[in-house]
Structure 1
Amino acid sequence: MKILKLIKILVQSILRAVQLELPKAEHRHCARHIYANWNKSFKGEELKLLFWTFVKAYNLANFEEAITEMEDVNPVAVDALRKCGPHLFFRSFVKLDGECDVILSNMVETFNNYIMNARSHHLIDMLEDIRTMLIKRLANKKEEGLKKWKEVDIENRTCTCKKWDLRGISCCHAVASIFYLHKELESYVDQCYTREAYLRTYEGNINPCIGERHWPKIDKLIDPPPIKIGPGRPRKNRIKDPHEDPK
């Protein structure tokens, strides 16, 4: 009982701290944890699929379609979900000014695992270890970011991943760099993909020939080359590799 009381005090302290320090922050619940609790009463693969369909829906139209479909299967399950607060974990209800569609607590759990060893220490030592780890992490991520900016050469239209070089279409690294410089993405697509290049490909033509009835007639016999017919029925399909998909 004493441990539960301490946990309750800790949770209340965290909620109050967030309210004071981040008054305008949007609070969301983890859809995976809500599903775990909801699934105890409403099981089945069909309900699971419908749950994640409307939880991940970006607009109300798709959301309503999935909700209607679930109501046909189990209306009680829908009522139970509505009581959880759709605005807290449904993508179609979250605020648009956050530039974030995350409805899972994966990032928090990743960070929790990141500080797992530090959590076993004394409070002061734990905070010091976390502070030191974050200092190193920020420095390392900044250094990695600076290195990644150098992998793209916009002027020469090349990238170390080689996708841009091979395809002539900007890779994800090049796209990030082009947008960062506020330039037009279409300007960095190879000329072979332009309308003009497409038309040049088909600008040639094959002139028609006169019909067979107008060909000149000759007296000589023109026999076809000799054909050697092998035994058995003629093969129509090519011989496939042993490792090739038979279909």
Structure 2
Amino acid sequence: MKGPYLGMILTAVGLDGNNYTYPLAYGLVESENYNSWTWHKGVLPAIAKLFQCAENRFFLRHIHENMKRKWRGKEFKDCLWKCAKTTTVQQFNLAMVELKKLNNDAYEWLKAIPLQHWSRSHFTGRAHCDALLNNLCETLNNKLVKGRDKPIISCLEFIREYIMKKLVIFQKTIDKCSGPLTPTTTKTLEKIKGEAAEYRAVFCGNGKYQVTGGEGVDQCVFDITQHTCSCNKWEVNGIPCKHTNAAIWDMRRNSENVGVPETWVHPTYWLKTWQEMRKKKRRRSSTEDDSATGTRTVRCSKCENVGHNGRSYKGQSVGGSQASGSDMGQNAGGNDVGQNAGVGQN
């Protein structure tokens, strides 16, 4: 914060199925200290309790900044990135050996950092995301600069309005989209398909394919039963790798009903999923039942019968009959029944 109103703005940002930043939460604290980060009985313990399977990853650029204090130069940077970007343990070990040859102390320093926090080769794949950087938070923070010199409430309103406008822009983008996948995922998969065109798949039996490319240098095993590839890229980010695409095409050529590569992409990246994640769920009122049909049921607040409401009540009794003979057989609430079929569905 700037000006007379001291403090710091903390933000939490995620990535959606189109690789767009998605603001999750923001808050204003007195400073970025231990108490701020552990407020509300401790953010970290709360996350550990409520989201037990959540992965914690380090910002690779910060690791590099710390590395530069002792080991500078392009060679060290390239080795670090190679270790982080590899998707198999074998490739990771080879990259670490290169760093060890370059400098043993740097090797020992990097090895001491828990591998599951910064190297794709040790990601579980549960998040279906291979991001190594945290610039998504920096992107949001840069947009909030103009609100930092405002009074507290005005600052929070500035952030709220920015996020509101941002979500509207997202929704307009979604409304223009078509196809099975989000736009960014479609481009990514098309690029992978281009690489897969240079690969050859050979059936090995038991649902496994040997896929070879890169002039024979790159060879992996695709397992259709387990939905895995030995390159581990598909498992990490949820998008079929070039080996998987080559195997799918070979199966299609042999008249196997395996669908197109798009159907093998994880639901995280489906356009349908992207559309549904931005829908607002409406709170159902006490007058609506929870039947499987999802239709809206109107219940009278006076006689407690269904089919009409209190405003249109004209002495109806159970079964829709009325106390007044002149109104016999009329359904005062008839116009309400069935008009809102589907209301309440999410």
Shorter-chain TM-score: what band?
0.5 to 0.7
Q: How many residues align?
A: 159
Q: C-alpha deviations, 1:63-94, integer Å up to 9, x for none?
A: 10000111111111011112232221111122
Q: Does 1:64 align with 2:93?
A: yes
Which structure shows the bigger proportion of residues in helix conformation?
1
2:144 paired with 1:115:
yes
Distance 1:174 1:124, change over 3 A: same
Report the counterpart of residue 7 of structure 1 in structure 2: 32
Partner residue, 1:39 = 68
Q: Deviations over 1:173-220 (max 9, x none)?
A: 997xxx9xx96369xxxxxxxxxxxxxxxxxxxxxxxxxxxxxxxxxx
Separation (CA, whole Å) in 1 of partners of 2:189 and 2:87? 27
CA distance in 2, matches of 1:32, 1:18: 22
1:184 to 1:39, Cα distance in 2 relative to 1, 3 A: same
Distance 1:50 1:67 in 2: 8
Pairs within 5 Å for 1:129-168: 129-149=158-178
Q: Which residue of 2 aligns with 1:106?
A: 135
- Could you tell me which runs of 5 or more consecutive residues in structure 1 were left unpaired when the two chains were aligned: 153-170, 187-247
The answer to whether structure 1 residue 16 and structure 2 residue 42 are counterparts is yes
1:18 deviates by 5.1
Structure 1 or 2: larger strand share? 2
- Find the structure with the greater CA-based Rg: 1
Match among 21, 30, 37 for residue 59 of structure 2? 30
TM-score, structure 1 length as denominator?
0.56
Where does residue 102 of structure 2 map in the other structure?
Answer: 73
How far the C-alpha of 1:140 sits from its partner, in A, is: 1.3
Looking at structure 2, the residues matched to 47 and 70 of structure 1 have their Cα atoms a distance apart, in angstroms, of 7
Aligned residue runs from structure 1 range 206-245, under 5 A: none
SS at match of 2:65: helix
Identical columns (%):
25
| Residue identity matched to 2:260 | E
Q: Does the 8 Å contact 2:38/2:44 carry over to 1?
A: no
Q: Is the 8 A contact 2:58 2:132 kept in 1?
A: yes
| Per-residue deviation, 1:13 | 3.1
Displacement of 1:14 in angstroms is: 8.5
Aligned to 2:121: 92
Going from structure 1 to structure 2, the CA distance change for 1:121 and 1:18 (only over 3 Å counts) comes to farther
Q: How far 1:44 sits from its partner (Å)?
A: 2.3
Output the aligned Cα RMSD. 3.2
Q: Flag as ranges the 4+ runs of structure 1 deviating above 6 A.
A: none
Distance 1:173 1:89 in 2: 22
Which of 245, 254, 260 is equivalent to 1:184?
260
Query: How far apart are residue 15 of structure 1 and its match?
Result: 9.6
